[in-house]
Amino acid sequence: MPALILASTSRYRAELLSRLRLPFSCVAPAVDETPLPAEPPLQLATRLARAKATAVAATHPGAWVIGSDQVAELDGAPLGKPGTREAARTQLAAMSGRQVLFHTAVCVSDGERHLQAVDLTRVGFRTLHADEIERYVDAEQPLDCAGSFKCEGLGITLFEAIHTQDPTALVGLPLIGLSRLLREAGLALP
């Protein structure tokens, strides 16, 4: 079996990929994640997933590389990782009582072939009060998460509903789509 590499340093994606019980390593992709001017969130997610996979595949011939990216969208605009407590509070306040779209793209590449899938997850946020937002940000420190929450933790308490084809996509790696792509690439899954 060819080597399998996750083009990511995200512990969330690594934890998800480990569910497939395939041996893999992680390599940080050297990719500029800056959105292009007027780039729609879906195109940004798919472009970055492919860029991450191909960047790592270029330095690891013979390996299959998994790149993934997630972009949250509110009112047609992308929401990135907040990075600061203030930005996290601002994002959560903006999403309060609203529906937010999460585009999670995955690309499997050997440098020549590029197999891609995208999941669209719709998250309905309940009305959030400032003190709830403050307590949540203090408790989970979701500064490295698109949309400022961790759905696998306390972030689930911020929602009214989640609509998705793949429940793992919201965490950052759509395993249903990825499994299909890995089979398409010829890798045997347990």
Looking at the annotation, which residues are catalytic?
A: 69
Backbone angles phi and psi of 135, in degrees to 5: -65, -40
Contacts of 16 (CB under 8 A, 6+ apart): 168, 171, 172, 173, 175
Which pair of tokens denotes residue 15?
């934890």
Number of residues that make up the chain: 190
183: Cβ contacts below 8 Å, ≥ 6 apart: 189
The phi-psi region of residue 92 (left if phi > 0; otherwise alpha if psi is between -120 and 50; otherwise beta) is: alpha
Lookup result for tokens 């790149």: 67
